[in-house]
């Protein structure tokens, strides 16, 4: 699908919620920005090939943003979105966790839910077979230390104990990107062996499952981003 054109059959807008999934868009189509930007509070652009968030500044009322299964990397930039509470970036190409978190701190002040599963920045078996539960827990402590208002991170609610531990230890739990040849080779191997989130468009809204040792409950409508929160958690 050309970025300048919109497939109206794939577009769904109702009650300030806009979904435009699986259309191979590399960026947010300008037509969506002009027609819906001022109205939308929930935006789902999953299963595209989005590489840039240029134009997102037109969606100034956003409260939920779902960008699962795209091609967003470390050059991702956010406009100031003062009302955004939910950001889901599952299965993208984000590797530098600290850089991403610094951008979130600066531009997304109200964020309370974040999901980064199946990115190199999130060190668990979805993104790297060499990682284990202890790597993932260190990642959680660091993110929670930096983002003190988060209520959910990935598949799990933030507990009071975890918050307390993050305050004590999170500053020292930075997750570094691979820097030498050995690590680069490991990264290439891990990418080949990774088990990404499902790419079958027909399974949208139907899939429930667990991956590796990580027990994720998927309960949403369109994408992984809203599949982790059940009604009783809201």
Q: What is the pLDDT of residues 3-30, one digit of tens each?
A: 568 899 999 999 999 999 999 999 999 9
* Distance (Å, whole) CA 6 – CA 18: 13
Exposure class string for 57-83: b at 16+ Cβ within 10 A, else e: ebbebbebbbbbbbebbeebebbebee
- Average pLDDT, integer, range 164-168: 84
Q: How far apart are CA 103 and CA 15, in angstroms?
A: 29
Report residue 173's pLDDT band, with 50, 70 and 90 as the boundaries.
low
> CA 16 to CA 161: how far, in whole Å?
36
Say how far apart CA 143 and CA 170 lie, in whole Å: 7
pLDDT value of position 141: 92
Q: Of 50-54, 77-81, 200-204, 222-226, give the lowest mean pLDDT range.
A: 200-204
Q: Give the model confidence (pLDDT) of 72-89 as tens digits.
A: 999 999 999 999 999 999
Model confidence at 175, pLDDT cuts 50, 70, 90, reads: low
Please work out, in degrees rounded to the nearest 5, the angle formed at the alpha carbon of residue 50 by the alpha carbons of 46 and 56: 90
Closest CA to 66 of 22, 30, 31: 22
- The number of helices, as runs of H, and strands, as runs of E, in the chain is 5, 8
List pLDDT tens digits, range 111-152: 999 999 999 999 976 656 666 688 898 999 999 999 999 999
Q: Please report, for the chain, the start and end positions of each structural domain, with discontinuous segments joined by +.
A: 11-202
- Residue 204: pLDDT over 90: no
Residue 176 binned pLDDT confidence (cut-offs 50, 70, 90): low
Q: What angle do CA 222, 228, 231 make, to 5 degrees?
A: 90
Quick one: which H or E segment has residue 146? helix 133-146
**11-202, CATH topology level:** 3.80.10
């Amino acid at each position: 699908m050309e970025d300048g054109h919109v497939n109206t059959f794939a577009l769904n807008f109702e009650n300030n919620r806009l979904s435009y999934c699986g259309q191979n868009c590399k960026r947010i189509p300008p037509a969506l920005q002009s027609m819906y930007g001022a109205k939308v509070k929930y935006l789902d652009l999953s299963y595209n090939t989005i590489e840039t968030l240029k134009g997102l500044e037109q969606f100034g009322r956003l409260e939920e943003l779902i960008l699962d299964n795209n091609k967003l990397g470390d050059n991702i930039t956010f406009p100031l979105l003062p009302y955004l509470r939910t950001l889901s970036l599952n299965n993208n190409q984000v590797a530098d966790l600290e850089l991403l978190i610094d951008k979130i701190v600066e531009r997304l002040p109200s964020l309370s839910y974040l999901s980064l599963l199946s990115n190199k920045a999130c060190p668990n078996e979805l993104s790297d077979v060499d990682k284990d539960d202890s790597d993932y827990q260190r990642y959680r402590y660091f993110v929670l230390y930096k983002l003190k208002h988060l209520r959910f991170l990935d598949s799990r609610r933030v507990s009071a104990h975890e918050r307390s531990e993050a305050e004590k230890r999170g500053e020292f739990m930075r997750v570094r990107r691979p820097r030498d040849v050995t690590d680069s080779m490991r990264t290439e191997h891990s990418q080949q062996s990774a088990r990404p989130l499902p790419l079958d468009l027909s399974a949208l809204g139907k899939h429930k499952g667990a991956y590796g040792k990580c027990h994720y409950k998927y309960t949403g409508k369109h994408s992984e981003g809203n599949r982790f929160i059940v009604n009783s958690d809201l």
